[in-house]
Structure 1
Amino acid sequence: MVLVGPMGVGKSTVGALLAERLGCGYRDTDEDIVAEQGRTVADIFVDEGEPAFRGIEKRAVGRALAEHDGVLALGGGSVLDPDTRALLAGHTVVYLSMDVEEAVKRTGLNTARPLLAVNPRRQWRDLMEARRHLYTEVAQAVVPTDGRTPEEVAAAVLDALELKEA
């Protein structure tokens, strides 16, 4: 199972819960990138720019999809790459969604998120306008996370995919 959605939606937290409930492994491509590069995603953005980061991300997602058979969380912008979207076609993908008010509550739309450094609310809305259709395109299920705990979101994902806990 692959989780996609915007930054701060809870892919990492929900992904770990789902892996535990399903009795399988969990992996996060942002964590893979940090481990491989020895620096944060934000630092890569600042030092090398978004295009360089997207290339690193594309390779990390390709490796993870080929190697991992448990629950996988992807970075928020990974669906921007058409090759990545094509690779996702062979996988069960869940889009975790939230609105801007929920994003504010969860992340504070802080500057540790490089794409939200200037006018975070507007930037978040613009990002979602550019990405929402891509998340929907690759997903077999859309699970709203607004006002839900991670445990409730995990249960909703299992229900949406008609999966039973291990």
Structure 2
Amino acid sequence: MAVGKTTVGRILAGRLGLPFRDTDADIVAARARTVADIFAEEGEARFRELERAAVRTALAEHTGVLALGGGAVLDARTRGLLAGGPVVFLDMEPQDAVRRLAAGPVRPLLAVDPEAVWRATSASRRPLYTQVARVVVATGGRTPEGVADIVLEALAAAPAPGR
């Protein structure tokens, strides 16, 4: 959450001359409600179902840069779909996350004690992110453009599995 997936994804897509897509935006468009509203009205389990379907559809239809919601990796089937792909895990330190979250939109999972929840969420998801990621890029102290530079360099240096 708040690591810059959408911002960096758009920069990467522009540099690569590819389309950009964000699965959270797909869900919002399909449901005509915000992620926060879906969480509040239908619950996290339902949102995760919608997220899994959005990721599956996007991977089947989209040939450009794709930003996934932070919880997409929670589903084993989604991780299976991502396996072997050019997946990038944008990583950040807790203090950076708290600063960004304070300045950004409301996050349903962070309504109470954002720092503690972010730390716990990050700790539980980190092994899943690293399981599917071809590369991990630390975002701390970098501009979105700088992160995009490192992502491109890292992907070029990290060959696809089996190659």
Distance 2:129 2:77 in 1: 14
Deviation at 1:90, TM superposition (A): 3.8
Structure 1 stretches lacking a partner, 5+ long: 1-6
Match of 2:92 in 1: 98
- Match for residue 37 of structure 2? 43
Q: TM-score, normalised by structure 2?
A: 0.93
Query: Could you tell me whether the CA contact under 8 Å between 1:95 and 1:143 is conserved in 2?
Result: yes
Give the aligned partner of residue 3 of structure 1.
Answer: none
Please say if residues 103 and 109 of structure 1, whose CA atoms lie closer than 8 Å, have aligned partners that are also in contact: no
Query: Separation in 1 of the partners of 2:104 and 2:148?
Result: 25
Q: Closer, same or farther in 2 for the Cα pair 1:77/1:96, shift >3 Å?
A: same
1:88-127 maps to which residues of 2 (within 5 A)? Answer: 88-108=82-102, 112-127=106-121
Indicate conservation of the 8 Å contact 2:8/2:145, yes or no. Answer: yes
Alignment of 1:80-159 (within 5 A): 80-108=74-102, 112-159=106-153
What letter matches 1:58 in structure 2? R
d(CA) in 2 for partners of 1:78 and 1:161?
Answer: 21
User: TM-score, structure 1 length as denominator?
Assistant: 0.92
Once residues 104 and 5 of structure 2 are traced to their aligned partners in structure 1, the CA distance between those partners, rounded to angstroms, is 18
TM-fit CA distance, 1:110: 6.6
Taking the aligned partners of 2:105 and 2:18, their CA distance within structure 1 comes to 34
String of CA shifts for 1:71-117, please: whole Å, max 9, x gaps.
Answer: 00000000000000000014210000001100012121777101011
Q: How does 1:67-86 map to 2 (within 5 A)?
A: 67-86=61-80
- Matched position secondary structure for 2:156: coil
The answer to whether the aligner puts 1:53 opposite 2:14 as a matched pair is no
Distance 1:111 1:126 in 2: 20
Ranked by relative contact order (alpha carbons within 8 Å, sequence separation 6 or more), the top structure is 1
The Cα RMSD (Å) is 1.3
Which residue in 2 is equivalent to 1:4?
A: none
How many residue pairs end up in the alignment?
Answer: 157
CA distance in 1, matches of 2:60, 2:87: 15
Higher normalized helix content (fraction of residues): 2
Q: Which runs of 4+ in 1 moved over 4 A?
A: none
Amino acid at match of 2:8: V
* Residue type at the aligned position of 1:120: P
Using a 3 Å threshold, how does the CA distance of structure 1 residues 63 and 121 change in structure 2: closer, same or farther? same
